[in-house]
A and B are shown apart, each in its own frame.
Chain A
Amino acid sequence: MKNSSRRGFMGKAFGAVAGVGAVASLYAMKKTWDPLPSVKAAGFTTLDMSVYSGNKLVTEKWRGKPIFVLKYTPDMVKKAESDPKMKARTIKIGNDYFMITLGLCTHLGCIPGYNADDHSFLCACHGGQYDFSGDVTKAPPPRGLDIPPFKIDGMKVVLGEEGPEYKKMLQDGVTLRA
Chain B
Amino acid sequence: MAHFTKATSLHDWLNQRLAVDTLRRVLAKEYWIPKDINFLWAMGMVLAITFGLLLVSGIFLLMYYQPNVHTAFDSVNYTIMKEVEFGWLWRHVHGVAASVVFLIIYIHMFTGIYYGSYKKGREMIWLSGMLLFVSFSAEAFSGYMLPWGQMSYWAGMVITNLFSLGDLHMNGLVEWIRGDYVPGQAFLNRFFMLHVLLMPLIIMALIGLHFGTLRIPHVNNQEGEEIDFDEEAAKYKAGNKKESKVIAFANDFMAKDMFVVSIFLIFFFYLVFYHYDFAMDPVNFDPADGLKTPAHIYPEWYFLWSYEILRPFSTNVGLMAFGFAQVIFLLLPFLDKSPNAKPAHKRGIFKVWFWVLLADMIVLTAMGKLPPEGAFSTIGFVAALVFIGLWVILPIITKMEKEV
Chain A residues at the B interface, C-beta cutoff of 8 Å: 11, 14, 25, 28-29, 31-34, 36-38
Chain A interface secondary structure, helix, strand, loop or mixed? helix
- Contact yes or no, A32 B85, CB < 8 A: yes
Q: Within 8 Å CB of B366, what residues of A?
A: none
Known contacts A11-B255, A32-B84, A37-B83; 14 additional CB pairs below 8 A are A11-B251, A25-B56, A28-B86, A28-B89, A29-B60, A29-B86, A31-B86, A32-B60, A32-B63, A32-B86, A32-B87, A32-B90, A34-B85, A36-B83
10 chain-A/chain-B pairs, Cβ below 8 angstroms: A11-B251, A25-B56, A29-B86, A32-B60, A32-B63, A32-B87, A32-B90, A36-B79, A36-B84, A37-B83
B24 CB to closest chain A CB, in angstroms?
15
Q: Within 8 Å CB of B87, what residues of A?
A: 32
Interface size on B, residues (CB 8 A): 14
Chain B residues at the A interface, C-beta cutoff of 8 Å: 56, 60, 63, 79, 83-87, 89-90, 251, 255, 258
How distant is the Cα of A38 from the Cα of B87 in the complex, in angstroms?
15
How distant is the Cα of A36 from the Cα of B82 in the complex, in angstroms?
10
Chain B interface secondary structure, helix, strand, loop or mixed? helix
How distant is the Cα of A37 from the Cα of B78 in the complex, in angstroms?
12
- Contact yes or no, A14 B258, CB < 8 A: yes
Q: Within 8 Å CB of A38, what residues of B?
A: 83
How distant is the Cα of A86 from the Cα of B87 in the complex, in angstroms?
48
Query: Can you name the residue of chain A whose Cβ is closest to the Cβ of B80?
Result: A32
Query: Can you name the residue of chain A whose Cβ is closest to the Cβ of B59?
Result: A29
Q: Within 8 Å CB of B60, what residues of A?
A: 29, 32
Query: Can you name the residue of chain A whose Cβ is closest to the Cβ of B61?
Result: A32
B207 CB to closest chain A CB, in angstroms?
22
How distant is the Cα of A11 from the Cα of B250 in the complex, in angstroms?
11
Q: Within 8 Å CB of B83, what residues of A?
A: 36-38
Query: Can you name the residue of chain B whose Cβ is closest to the Cβ of A21?
Result: B265
Q: Within 8 Å CB of B255, what residues of A?
A: 11
B91 CB to closest chain A CB, in angstroms?
11
- Contact yes or no, B63 A33, CB < 8 A: yes
| Residue among A14, A31, A32, A36 having the largest count of chain B Cβ atoms under 10 Å | A32
Query: Can you name the residue of chain A whose Cβ is closest to the Cβ of B83?
Result: A36
Query: Which of A11, A14, A25, A31 is in CB contact (< 8 Å) with B85?
Result: A31
Q: Within 8 Å CB of B90, what residues of A?
A: 32
Q: Within 8 Å CB of A25, what residues of B?
A: 56
How distant is the Cα of A37 from the Cα of B87 in the complex, in angstroms?
13
B239 CB to closest chain A CB, in angstroms?
12
Q: Within 8 Å CB of B79, what residues of A?
A: 36
How distant is the Cα of A38 from the Cα of B258 in the complex, in angstroms?
41
B56 CB to closest chain A CB, in angstroms?
8
How distant is the Cα of A69 from the Cα of B83 in the complex, in angstroms?
33
Q: Within 8 Å CB of B84, what residues of A?
A: 32, 36
Q: Within 8 Å CB of B89, what residues of A?
A: 28
Q: Within 8 Å CB of A36, what residues of B?
A: 79, 83-84
How distant is the Cα of A82 from the Cα of B56 in the complex, in angstroms?
62
Q: Within 8 Å CB of A28, what residues of B?
A: 85-86, 89
